[in-house]
Amino acid sequence: MDIETRSDEETFEAYRFLTRVNRYLFASRVIFHHLKQWSKQWPKDKTIRILDIASGACDIPKEIIRWAKKKNFKVELIALDLSQQALSFGQQTYKEYPEIKFIQANCFQIPIKKVDYVISSAFFHHLDNQSIIQALKHFNTIAQKGLIISDLQRSKRAYCWIRLFSLLTKNELVRYDGPLSVLKALKLEEAKDLVTQSSLDYLHVRTHFGHRLSLAGVKKE
């Protein structure tokens, strides 16, 4: 979140609200748009390891686990976040999901050498352009198969919508963080330029429902 750390009670309330908003606005749709296509090549007898960077409320790892079980895939999720409050919320909320491992770390100092896929949602708008390029290159060294970066797309319409949703709660974290996140987000052409500068030719940028965009792709075998 963009605002300074608050009490666990206020922060957890914000995570619960954002989880509901994410559910209603299909925030995980961008991640699943790619995973559902790529999973057609997954072997049923192998565990697929996915690292979720800046996992926040950790609701996307939970959704991936539930989806994978329905499809009979073996999946292990690693929820990584710099915030101990975020990880505590995830550990308390998703106790019944032992497939999710929680790690506190900086996204540029990840204590994991390799996974199959690296994903991240609503994180890149917290970074400046050079940090985004650095992050893409770093994530690329860890992801053996593919990479999915999902984030908001900056636009006047997106800002108006998030302002409207922020009025549905009195939580200051949500009311402050939501509109600011849109203002700090990338436009489509800006995202394409950053991918070009990262030299990761397998990544493609596209827009999605809900004023979102993705930087995603699979590596060639």
pLDDT score at 99: 97
pLDDT score at 21: 66
Q: What percent of the chain has pLDDT over 70?
A: 77
Question: 8-218 in CATH: which number?
Answer: 3.40.50.150
pLDDT score at 88: 92
pLDDT in tens, 73-129: 999 999 999 999 999 999 999 999 999 999 999 999 999 999 999 999 989 999 999
Q: What is the pTM of this model?
A: 0.84
Q: What is the mean pLDDT of the chain?
A: 87
| Average of per-residue pLDDT across 16-24 | 67
What one-character-per-residue DSSP string does the chain give?
--SPP--HHHHHHHHHHHHHHHHHTTTTHHHHHHHHHHGGG--TTSEEEEEEET-TT-HHHHHHHHHHHHTT-EEEEEEEES-HHHHHHHHHHTTT-TTEEEEE--TTS-S---EEEEEEES-GGGS-HHHHHHHHHHHHHHEEEEEEEEEEB--HHHHHHHHHHHTT---HHHHHHHHHHHHHSBPHHHHHHHHHHHT-TT-EEEEETTTEEEEEEE---
pLDDT in tens, 166-198: 666 665 555 556 666 766 679 999 999 999 999
pLDDT in tens, 56-72: 889 999 999 999 999 99
